[in-house]
Amino acid sequence: MSTPSGGAQRLATEGGEYTVVRATRDDVRDIVGLLRDDEIGAGREGVDLAPYLAAFDEVDADPQQLLAIVRDEGGAAAGTLQLTFVPGLSRGGAKRLIVEGVRVHSRTRGSGLGAALMEWAHGQGRSRGVTLVQLTSDKRRGDAHRFYERLGYEATHEGFKLEL
């Protein structure tokens, strides 16, 4: 992994070279496309960009948030994720990294990009003093669960959600 100017980082995988950068408003359309690029997301994500742009502005203004996009050598969107850095008192004042919205484009899955992107995320956490990474994954995403387990993640807790 090398770091060219502008804060971009290169991710080299068996499937090719990719660049990961902090997302901008101009990337929102591509990120929404990535979120829609599976059976669950296709039924859950909308096509009107207005609410996504408003959400992006809020995320981008928060220094504890990092929304990233990955592009392939041709500039096409290949992946995305959102990182949230959470200071806390438990575990001796440990800082946590929450990983959300991980997506790798269907044409790129199996290329090693997902693992490289997660390692990049772990590096972002280490650089901010994070000692614990956590994430949730929809119970219907069996392939994703196996992927996270291969990376060393353990299903140690039961998660709960309440829609308001």
Residue 153's pLDDT is what? Answer: 95
**Residues pairing with 18 in the sheet:** 11, 72
pTM, 2 dp:
0.91
Q: Which residues have a Cβ under 8 Å from the Cβ of 58 and sit 6 or more positions away?
A: none
The pLDDT value recorded for residue 110 is 86
Q: What is the largest CA-CA distance in the chain?
A: 45
Tens digit of pLDDT per residue, the chain (164 long)?
444 435 799 999 988 999 999 999 999 999 999 999 988 888 999 999 999 999 999 999 999 999 999 999 999 999 999 999 999 999 999 999 999 999 999 999 889 999 999 999 999 999 999 999 999 998 999 999 999 999 999 999 988 889 99
**Domain covering 5-150, topology:** Aminopeptidase (3.40.630)
Burial class for 78, CB neighbours closer than 10 Å (0-12, 13-18, 19+): buried
Q: Where are the domains of the chain?
A: 5-150
